[in-house]
Structure 1
Amino acid sequence: MGDYKNLKVLPVVWCISKLTTSLFGGLEGITIFGELEGFFGGFEAIINLGEPDGLFGGLEAITNFGELEGLFGGFEAITNLGEPEGLFGGLEAITNFGELEGLFGGFEAITNLGEPEGLFGGLEAITNFGEPEGLFGGFEAITNLGEPEGLFGGLEAITNFGELEGLFGGFEAITNLGEPEGLFGGLEAITNFGELEGLFGGFEAITNLGELEGLFGRLEAITNFGELEGLFGGFEAITNLGELEGLFGGFETITNRGELEGLFGGFEAITNLGEPEGLFGGFEAITNDFSSFGPFEIIPSFEGESGSKAVIVKTIQTKRARKTKNTFIF
């Protein structure tokens, strides 16, 4: 496990206002997604994303996803991903997310993404995405998502994904998300996802995610994130996303994302992420989830500069790490 002694989330108000006619749409530079040198561009080390036809590869059954060649792949119309500096970055033109014509562009039937029950949820127009009711929604056949080698792996509690209100929204059934190594983490079986150690994990080329303005960052036009009903679903209370500089942004000390046990998983110190019910909202059971990192003793917090709080977390025992004392400052 890596060194998390100085994990910081700097206080900045991050809001969101008008997002454009297309999420990740109007991105005029990516002419053939399969030809990218990296994940959404710039990640030069990821040059062979498992040789899939599209992102999250080998989705050969998806033959009519808006006539895409693969999931988020073959977006021939996406000819210029805004030359982002980071993941989904540099999307300066996203000014009106509520009025998107389609999710990730081109889905003309999705005319009001602002009002779905959750992100990738309530997409009633997508009726033939492998015959689910919506993108990553209505997958009634996925009754044991913990056993696949790929999709979000290790979420053993998700036994009826079709009943969820939306992706990352209302996952009331995920009562044991702490037992995987982290959200989207613990994908131990994904050993050759473009030689990644896991989904969005083990990106060894991403050695300084802290220098990005934020994951999904540089969305300079997003000024009022709290008013979206849809992006990552129903975050009405997140007007200040726990004073993060951006969505998942401002993690200045994460210099080697590959060493994390899981993506943003098990951070017990994040107890006030804009006061949502939990990470990505609706995760009612995830209120104090440090089990990803192992048993911990929480030493009472103290007030710091500008009202910031520090929580000292003393590791009692863990299989993967030596005994450490970490300070998370918020």
Structure 2
Amino acid sequence: MKVQSLVAIGLTLALAGVAHAERFIFQRGGALYSASRDGKESRKLLDIGAGAGGLWAASPDGRRIVWAKSASKESEGSLAARPLTLYLTDITGRRQKRLLSTDSLTDRQGHKVTEVGETILSGPSTTLADWSPVSLSWSADGRTLYLGCTRVGAAAGVMTVTMDAQVGTALVDSEGRWKCLGSVTQPDARSTYIAAVSIGRESGVAPLMICNLAVGNAWTPVPPLGGTPVYGAALWPALAPNGKSVVFASVPRGLWLAEGPGLQTRRLINGEIARPRFSENGKTVLFLSPRPTTADKIAYDLYELPLGGTTPKVVLSDVDWFDLVMD
């Protein structure tokens, strides 16, 4: 009976694996689209506006999309000068709702939130006028949204604040201030592990940071020995499905991988890379890279690179931003 049960369980898992294929969610202009893994089957999901940039993300289960809009026509500015409104939809794009606005942000008790809690590198509590949004992502369990920000003005700094993804309230610390995940931005979560980017003391240095929230909120730079990392500035880190390695970009130093004991780093390929992501099986990396264009707007193509390979191939053309989800 035990053997038969194990066989049945194994067959169920195998069938489940076949039934769940990968799909791309990608932005082209002011709209989001869904495409099959080979890039051939594509359909429009919804309009989000050309100003959204990379401020949207698909949930870990692939069933929801959150995106941000600003009422201001300015392309840059603080959360006070350019308040964001976040919207939530299912993957079909038909069931849409307004989730929250940063200029009327409240906690779970309905108290208005205008201050940000302190972090180790960002110093004492600050206001929304001190921060400009740069990234939007989900926690691994799909319950929390992370808004990554950089400091406005001369004083360098980064932070990531947290929001309830279900009801659209700010998560706050014991002082009632907007709770910071840490002095990091562009976070990517996988289980309790989070990979993100901080800033270094030297110009042009942004170390990759790793945290396991299961053992505390202590962020470790990669490599952990300190000094100037060979990759310079890490961007858009993405955890592997098993949480044991990280792929990231370094402008203009190419595509990098951190893996093994101590997360040793090595370059995979040269070139200008943006938004790397692992495939679900962890055997290939997807990323954006600009293509030759005569227009003022930079155009990107979506590439796929097998780990261990040196020649990426184009999967989708003219992609501004993308995410990889399961059907």
TM-score, structure 1 normalization: 0.27
Structure richer in strand, relative to its length: 2
Higher relative contact order (CA 8 A, sep 6+): 1
